[in-house]
Amino acid sequence: MAKSGLAARLYRGEAGLNIVGRRNLWFGVAGGLVLIAVLSFAISGFKLGIEFAGGNSFQVPASVGTLERAEQTVDEVLADEAPGIEVVSAQKVGGTSGEFYEMRTGQLSAEQANAAKTSMAQEFGIPADQISGNQVSEAWGDQVTSRALLGLVIFVAVVSVYLVLRFEWRMAVAAIVSLLTNLVLTAGIYSLVGFEVTPSTIIGFLTILGFALYDVVVVFDKVQENTRGITANNNLTYGEASNLALNQSLMRSLNTSVVALLPVGGLLFIGAGLLGAGTLKDLGLVLFVGMAVAFLTSIVLATPLLVLLKNMDPRISAHNKRVLSRRAAVARGDITPRGAARATPAGETPIDPDNAALAGAAPKVGARPAGKRAGGARGGRPAGGGGNRPGGAKRR
C-alpha cells in the first residue's frame, strides 16, 4: 500500500501534477491577485490601529458586564461628549490587575477624554479611578513603520546574498519575487477584509518572511539536486526535472505548512476566539494568513519562475532543444530508445532483450566457432603441415 500511496507516486513523478508546465496559468493567477491587492490598497486602504492613526484607549474592568454592553455604553458616552467619535475596536485583555475591556476610539482632546472618562464611570457605576485612559500619537506608528521597512530591506538584502552563494542568482531572483508576492497578497487580504493593522501585525509580517524563505529553500534544494549535470542527460528538460523536484518535495512542504499552521490556528481560534485573549488576535491572524499564502507562492510561483529564467540561459535552451529533438526522432522511429527491442528482419527469430548478451554470443548456423585458432595453424591442423602425424614427419 505504501508503494501506491500519493506521497510515493509524487516522489516517482507518477501523480501527473504538471505544475511547472502550467506556469503561464499560475503567473496569470498571481498577477491578477496582485492587481486586486494593489487596487484595494489604492481604493480601500488599511484599517489602521490607533498606534498608526492616533487616538485614545480606555480600559474598563470586565466586571461591568459583557464586552458588547461595555462597547455600547462607551459609544453612547462618546456620542454625548465627543460627537463624531466612536469606538474603533474593542477587545478583552488580561493584566496583573485582572481582566478588563480595552476600547479604542478616534482622536480626543484632553478635555473630551476626561469628560468621557467621568461619564463612563457614572454609567458603569464604578469609581473613576478604575477606568484608565491613554492617548497615542500617530508619530509613534510612523516610527514603527519606518523601522519595519528598514528591517524588511535588510532582510531581503541578506537573503539575496545567501541564495546567490548557496544556489545561484536566478534562484535568488525567483525566491525574492515569491517573498514580495507573499507580502503583497497577505496585505491585500488585510485591506479587502478590513483587518486592523497594529504593531503586532507588522511583527507578524516580518515573521512570515522567514517561513516563506524556508519553504522556497526546501524546494530549490531538491531542484538543484535533480538538475545537477542535466546537460549530459538527454531524457529530461530543465522544466521537467524541476517539476519532478516540485512533486518530490510537495508532501514535505505540505506537512511542514500544516504542522506550522496548527499551533498558529490554536493561537488564533482558541486563544483569541474562545478564550478572548485579544492581544493574540493580531499576531495570530497575520501568521495564519501569511503562512498559508507562503505555501502556495513557494509551490506555484517560485519554481515556475525559476524555470522561466533558466530557459533563457543558452546552455539550458540548447539542452531542451536536444531533448525535444531526440523525442521527435524516437516518435518517428529514427532512433531506438535504450533498452527497447530492436526491429527484427524478416525470417529471423526475435531476440529477447533480457537475454541479449547471451543471444549475441550464440554462433549462427554453419559459422565457425568464435574461439581463437592455434598460432600458425590452418584448418585446425597442427603447425608443420604434417597432418595428424606426430612431429610432422615427411613421407619417404
Q: What mean pLDDT is reported for the chain?
A: 78
Tell which residue, 107, 5, 108, 124, has the closest CA to residue 54: 107
More confident residue, 161 or 89: 161
Residue 362 has pLDDT above 90, yes or no: no
**Segment 147-159 mean pLDDT:** 87
Q: Output the pTM of the full model.
A: 0.70
The DSSP code for 392 is G
Q: Which residue matches cell numbers 475596536?
A: 89
pLDDT for 97 beyond 80 = no
- 310 pLDDT band, cuts 50/70/90, is very high
286 vs 190: CA distance, rounded Å: 8
State how far the Cα of 24 lies from the Cα of 325, in Å rounded to an integer.
23
Report which residue type is found at 247. N
pLDDT of 16 reads: 66
Q: Which residue has the higher pLDDT, 57 or 396?
A: 57
Residue with cell string 492581544:
279
pLDDT at res. 54? 78
> Is pLDDT of 380 > 70?
no
Is residue 308 scored above 60 in pLDDT?
yes
Max mean pLDDT among 119-128, 131-140, 346-355 falls in 119-128
